[in-house]
Amino acid sequence: MTTTTHDPQIVTEKLDAVLASGPRPERPSALTTSLAFGWRAILRIKHVPEQLFDVTLFPIISVLMFTYLFGGAIAGSTSAYLQFLLPGILVQTVVMITMYTGVALNTDIEKGVFDRIRTLPVWRPSALVGALLGDAVRYTLASMFVVVLGLILGYRPDGGPLGVIAGVAVLMVFCFAFSWVWTWVGLLARSPQSVMGISMMVLFPLAFLSPVFVDPKTMPQWLQAFVEVNPISHAVYAVRGLMSGDSVGDEVVWTFIAAVVIIAIFGPLTMRAYGRRR
């Protein structure tokens, strides 16, 4: 039986020749890494198409159920109620799916992917920013689906195509900001189920205590006061007004202010939780 001995110096030289055969690549920029992680978030849809159920089934059920169940009682006809309801359902649908940003992040943490990402020589927040950018694609798909469904059912936006595009753009800005809330929750929660449970407890009251389904003037005074300070309400007013061709510049401004405030609060909280996580 023979044994082979290796000179440590020779082995080191061979490793250096393999590992350092060319110039060291430059460190990727923050934009490059954020877009890479954004593309990763989009690829999740390809490999797990069930993620699109909330983008497709939820708006179908919401639009059909509320239009044909309450349309006659609230607005006198389903067609008239659809004109009022669809922009609100658009906001509700996209706001509700913002929770999946936190769910996906917590799933990565649970599976150990998060720890591997943190070891990469990239801009540290890029994984979070990329996930938010990738989810913005989901928000756009959901918006397109709701608008197309509304057009099929008879919705006619008086603001025309430009009004619809402007309304969706305002909604994208608001939902991008709102996603930071669930990113923070995703870093703190113990499981994806916890993230979903917390988000539903917050989103359902905010979505229903807003002008999505009815005019707040029919509500009690104390409830109207809450509706008027609800950030989702301003988003609904802005989107509905833009799609209807009304002048709602003040509501657009308030929606952007709400987005800035949300990011100003939950952005630092998220980065602090991200930096402290081990």
The enclosing H or E element of 200 equals: helix 192-208
In whole angstroms, give the CA distance from residue 74 to residue 126.
Answer: 47
The enclosing H or E element of 264 equals: helix 249-276
Domain layout of the chain by residue ranges: 28-276
Predicted model pTM: 0.81
Residue spans of alpha helices (H) in 50-191: 53-75, 78-96, 99-111, 113-118, 126-153, 160-188
Report pLDDT for 50.
65
Report pLDDT for 16.
61
Report pLDDT for 167.
93
Report pLDDT for 276.
74
Contact 63, 85 (CB under 8 A): yes
In whole angstroms, give the CA distance from residue 141 to residue 174.
Answer: 16
Alpha-carbon distance values, 79 to 65, 76, 111, 273 (Å): 13, 9, 48, 48
Residue segments in the chain with a per-residue pLDDT below the cut of 50: 1-3
User: Which residue in 134, 138, 50 sits closest to 94, CA to CA?
Assistant: 138
The torsion of the CA quartet 26, 28, 32, 37, rounded to 10 degrees, works out to 140
In whole angstroms, give the CA distance from residue 155 to residue 82.
Answer: 6
HSE on the CB side for 274, CA within 13 Å?
A: 22
Report pLDDT for 1.
47
HSE on the CB side for 239, CA within 13 Å?
A: 31
Q: Using one digit for the tens of pLDDT, what is the confidence trace for 152-168?
A: 988 999 888 999 999 99
As a residue count, the chain comes to 278
Report pLDDT for 86.
92
